[in-house]
């Protein structure tokens, strides 16, 4: 009877632990710090609103669009640009956009989100007072800053065109 040959086993490496990615964190726009731009300033470790370069805005704990209350929001008077420095890796910006119930704008407004390079990442149709808010979802991979822009629709300017970025939040890792 032949003798079986035993093949020596090679040592195996222990399994490599795969690092768990950090859980995403939501940052609400109405709770972002407002920062003056400065070359020597250390940016906060979270998204912030850049005071220099932004128009008037109002960070509100509650806004109302078409009779629907929202717990978070930023209100602006169109035309308006609000500059957000992300200050970390962010994956998305989500909100609902619409005219505030305090507004009376005959022509309405158009909302858009622009990247730091000025490219339009998302844009709404013209929205008027009483229109339901429209959902906003913008992937932010590769962005370091964005601009929330609201302009009067069809060039019709009104003194009372108050527009809301409601439930506006940045999801970051």
Note whether residue 6 is domain-resident.
no
CA dihedral sign, ordered 35, 38, 44, 45: positive
Q: How far apart are CA 158 and CA 155, in angstroms?
A: 10
Note whether residue 17 is domain-resident.
no
Res. 40: pLDDT tops 70: no
Note whether residue 16 is domain-resident.
no
pTM attached to this predicted model: 0.84
End-to-end alpha carbon distance in the chain: 65
> In the chain, how many domains are there?
1
Structural domain harbouring 168: 25-172
Average pLDDT of the chain is 89
- What SS3 state is found at 155? helix
Among candidate residues 173, 152, 168, the one with its CA nearest the CA of residue 84:
168
Q: How far apart are CA 97 and CA 163, in angstroms?
A: 8
- What SS3 state is found at 144? coil
Q: Residue 134 has which token pair?
A: 């429209």
Note whether residue 14 is domain-resident.
no
Note whether residue 1 is domain-resident.
no
What is the per-residue pLDDT across 118-157, written as a single tens digit (0 to 9) for each? 999 999 999 999 999 999 999 999 999 999 999 998 776 6
- Does an H or E element contain 115, and which? strand 109-115
What is the per-residue pLDDT across 63-101, written as a single tens digit (0 to 9) for each? 999 999 999 999 999 999 999 999 999 999 999 999 999
Q: How far apart are CA 146 and CA 137, in angstroms?
A: 13
Q: What is the domain-level CATH number for residue 168?
A: 2.60.120.1060
Note whether residue 4 is domain-resident.
no
Q: Residue 96 has which token pair?
A: 């609902």
């Amino acid at each position: 009877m032949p003798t079986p040959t035993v093949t020596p086993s090679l040592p195996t490496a222990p399994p490599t632990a795969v690092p768990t990615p950090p859980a995403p964190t939501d940052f609400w726009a109405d709770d972002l710090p407002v920062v003056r731009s400065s070359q020597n300033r250390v940016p906060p470790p979270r998204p912030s609103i850049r005071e220099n370069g932004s128009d008037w805005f109002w960070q509100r704990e509650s806004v109302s669009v078409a009779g629907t209350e929202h717990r978070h929001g930023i209100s602006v008077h169109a035309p308006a640009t609000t500059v957000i420095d992300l200050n970390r890796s962010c994956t998305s910006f989500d909100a609902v956009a619409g005219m505030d119930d305090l507004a009376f704008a005959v022509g309405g407004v158009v909302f858009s989100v622009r990247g730091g390079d000025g490219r339009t990442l998302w844009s709404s149709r013209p929205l008027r007072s009483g229109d339901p808010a429209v959902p906003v979802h913008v992937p932010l991979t590769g962005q370091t800053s964005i601009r929330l822009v609201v302009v009067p629709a069809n060039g019709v300017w009104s003194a009372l065109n108050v527009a809301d970025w409601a439930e506006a939040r940045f999801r970051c890792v």
